[in-house]
């Protein structure tokens, strides 16, 4: 699906690193240190056509997936301030992704950004073209790289963090684990593929125009 775009959307840098930006090189490799020159790069229907439902008219504007530019106002403020030099982009937490035979870490970046509504201090989370603004009050551990989630699964009120040591696995289970990590690394190696897999079978009002029934994760 990444071939639908005329820009490189590969997120792989070096031999086993993944960047949190749209791409590791090329015009989409912009970051707060090197911001895009214009808002053109935020019209995803033009630069990332592979993430949209086939029913969507790609000739129309789609700002970060929304047809309304106002829906992504905090992001235009964030990037606009950086381009104009009106506000320094101060990172709160950044992590390159890593993939190997024993682990996969997703790339993520968080930058300070004061929301215009009530001048609320917060952060912009960035990963492969997906963005979310969160308030510092709601995420007190963001600078340690920890984001709190509020939903449990089914009737559970908290998430469980299941852990094990790969070296304790049997040879057969270790081979299964290695193959599973390979699939996860592939999903994260391209921003279009990452976008489609993370939104697979997730269809809400703000993501209704995105591909959501690809079954890529399976």
Strand duo 108-112 + 122-127: pairing: antiparallel
User: Over 119-143, what HEC string results?
Assistant: HECEEEEEECCEEEEEECCCCCCHH
Identify the CA nearest to 75 among candidates 142, 129, 21.
129
Average pLDDT, the chain: 83
Q: Is the pLDDT reported for residue 1 higher than 60?
A: no
Tens digits of per-residue pLDDT, 116-132? 766 788 888 999 988 88
CA 102 to chain centre: 23
Q: Is the pLDDT reported for residue 214 higher than 50?
A: yes
The predicted pLDDT at position 17 comes to 94
User: pTM score > 0.85 for this model?
Assistant: no
The predicted pLDDT at position 89 comes to 66
Tens digits of per-residue pLDDT, 90-123? 777 888 999 988 889 989 998 888 877 667 888 8
Going by pLDDT thresholds of 50, 70 and 90, the confidence category of residue 86 is low
Break the chain into its structural domains and give their ranges.
Answer: 2-207
In sequence order, what E strands does 71-173 have? 91-95, 97-99, 104-105, 108-112, 122-127, 130-135
């Amino acid at each position: 699906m990444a071939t639908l775009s005329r820009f490189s959307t590969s997120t792989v840098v070096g031999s086993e690193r993944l960047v949190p930006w749209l791409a590791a090189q090329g015009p989409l490799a912009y970051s707060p240190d090197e911001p895009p020159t214009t808002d053109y790069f935020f019209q995803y229907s033009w630069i990332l056509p592979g993430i949209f439902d086939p029913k969507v008219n790609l000739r129309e504007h789609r700002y970060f997936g929304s047809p309304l530019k106002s829906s992504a106002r905090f992001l235009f403020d964030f990037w606009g301030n950086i381009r104009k030099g009106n506000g320094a982009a101060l990172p709160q937490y950044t992590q390159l992704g890593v993939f190997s035979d024993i682990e996969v870490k997703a790339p993520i970046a968080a930058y300070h950004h004061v929301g215009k509504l009530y001048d609320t201090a917060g952060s912009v989370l960035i990963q492969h073209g997906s963005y979310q603004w969160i308030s510092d009050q709601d995420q007190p551990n963001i600078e340690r790289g920890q984001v709190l989630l509020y939903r449990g699964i089914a009737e559970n009120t908290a998430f469980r963090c299941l852990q094990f040591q790969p070296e304790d696995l049997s040879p057969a289970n270790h081979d299964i684990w290695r193959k599973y990590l390979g699939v996860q690394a592939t999903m994260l190696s391209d921003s279009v593929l990452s976008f489609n897999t993370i939104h697979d079978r997730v269809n809400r009002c703000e993501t209704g125009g995105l591909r959501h029934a690809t079954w890529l994760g399976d």
